[in-house]
Amino acid sequence: MGLTQVSTDGVKNDAITKTKIPANQIEASELADNAVGTSQLANNAVYTAAIQDDAVTDAKLANSINTAIAANTAKASIAINNNANNRVITGSGTANTLEGESTLTFDDTNDVLTAGGGLGIQNVSGILAGNGGGQDYLGLKDSGNNFAFMVKTHGTNNGFVGIGETAPLAPLHIKPASNVKQLLLEQNNATDGYALFVDGPNGGHLKFMRHVNGSDTQRALLRSDGGLCFGSDTAAANALDDYEEGTWTPSITFGGGSTGVVYSSYRNGSYIKIGNMVHLKFGFQLSSKGSSTGAIKITGLPFNGNHAGYFHDAGASIMVNGGTDSSGGHALVFLTDTNKLAIRQGSFGNSNTDATHTAFNNNTGFFGNICYNTSA
């Protein structure tokens, strides 16, 4: 008796289950093309062991893979705004969109990264930062975002370097934190040297320090008012505020007059001024003493002196070819009338007199020195 074919319409849903079909009873040749779709296969329903050798061909794989690639390509599409040659690409903040930076470019000819508005490269310990806009600079910032070092590269003071200063006013402008020495010069084979320290909080004085094994000792101090102190001294009263060397021309008067006085070629004077002390040297020789008479005074001092009462600075002098009243050629000069030297002749007794015109002849020579105090 032959079997009657039963169509799929004649089979109740779920009437045939996988447990009712023995293994290997349905062969691939008994299945129509596309009879079983991927939606009809449960996960892991087909194992590699159940797939016959060469059952899956290259053509069948290619179609599936190309379809998957096309789908994934459509999902990963990324747009780049403002894209142009050599521009650095950055994120834009919008999904699947990047930005071509017009002010940040890479020069592949010179291997240079350029930034029109400034360049910042940050690492753990600091920042390499810059600025454009006509007053360009490039520098290093510390971890606190403060410039530790910068170089002006364009604009005012181009090429000036600032250490702790963002607007350098000199080729090297150093401005560290307070109570820190600005410059340390140390020997390359030792731990000692010299340091400079501008003590801003305490008057702005410049200290010259001896640096030994990490410790600094003041050797000199240049006060902000111009005086120089030595050692550890800082007092204004002890500061050396002037040093000067120069020449002056001595002149002679008799009783305040100098009628007919003629000097030979020998007539000169020199001085050294240290602070308020003047060391004076002079000498001259006459070829005619003229006709004026009275007490002798030497004038032309380079600085006025201080004197009062018995406070007179004095010095030694020698007279040669003296007149009839020259007391053996030895005399004393002392400061008088603020800017004149008087000549005092003395003896072993209590007889001291001012030298007058009678102590000089027409060819008398006179020279000496004196150290005196001045307020100049």
pLDDT of residue 29 exceeding 90, the answer is no
Contact between 267 and 296 (Cβ < 8 Å): no
The whole domain housing 220 covers 183-238
Residue 256 lies in a domain: yes
pLDDT of residue 175 exceeding 80, the answer is yes
Question: Are 232 and 351 in the same domain?
Answer: no
Residue 269 lies in a domain: yes
Question: Are 210 and 132 in the same domain?
Answer: no
Query: Considering all CA atoms of the chain, what is the largest pairwise distance in Å, rounded to the nearest integer?
Result: 186
pLDDT value of position 323:
74
Most confident of 51-55, 185-189, 193-197, 228-232: 228-232
Question: Are 346 and 264 in the same domain?
Answer: yes
Residue 1 lies in a domain: no
Residue 277: pLDDT band by 50, 70, 90 thresholds?
A: very high
Residue 64 lies in a domain: no
Question: Are 253 and 319 in the same domain?
Answer: yes
Give how many domains the chain has, as a whole number. 3
pLDDT of residue 366 exceeding 80, the answer is yes
Consecutive H or E run containing 346: strand 340-346
Question: How many whole angstroms separate alpha carbon 56 and alpha carbon 253?
Answer: 135
Instruction: Return the bridge partners of 186, or none.
Output: 193
Question: Are 193 and 292 in the same domain?
Answer: no
Q: State which of 201, 222, 238 marks the end of a domain.
A: 238
Question: Are 274 and 335 in the same domain?
Answer: yes
User: Which of the two residues, 330 and 265, has the higher pLDDT score?
Assistant: 265
Q: What's the gap between Cα 372 and its chain centre?
A: 45
Query: Out of 96-105, 223-232, 320-329, which region has the weakest mean confidence (pLDDT)?
Result: 320-329
pLDDT value of position 214:
81
User: Which of the two residues, 214 and 246, has the higher pLDDT score?
Assistant: 246
Residue 4 lies in a domain: no
User: Which of the two residues, 323 and 227, has the higher pLDDT score?
Assistant: 227
The whole-number average pLDDT for the span 56-74 is 63
